[in-house]
Amino acid sequence: MEKLPSYTRSQLASRNGSDRDEIWIAYKGIIYEVTPSRHWRTGIHYGHWAGQDLTDELADAPHAEEVFARMQAIGKLEN
């Protein structure tokens, strides 16, 4: 994966669909831009909130991690 900028958890949290125009989620340390997705339009997708690391929540999803291949990776989540 190309060199991506790093963002803090606080920066990720501020892209939750209510504070700014951008809607981001993180999975396995990568931050994804989900603003264009109709599923994330309100910042909530089937009980999962944007602006968070959703790695541990994938088990509750009706899809596998392959869904992230369709999303735009925009950064790395700092530890």
What global pTM score does this model have? 0.85
Kindly report, residue by residue over 30-70, the tens digit of the pLDDT.
999 999 988 888 888 777 889 999 998 777 666 667 788 88
CATH of domain 6-77: 3.10.120.10
Q: What is the pLDDT of residue 38?
A: 86
Strand partners, 32: 25, 73
Mean pLDDT value across residues 5-20: 93
Cβ neighbours, 10 Å, residue 62: 6
Q: What is the pLDDT of residue 29?
A: 94
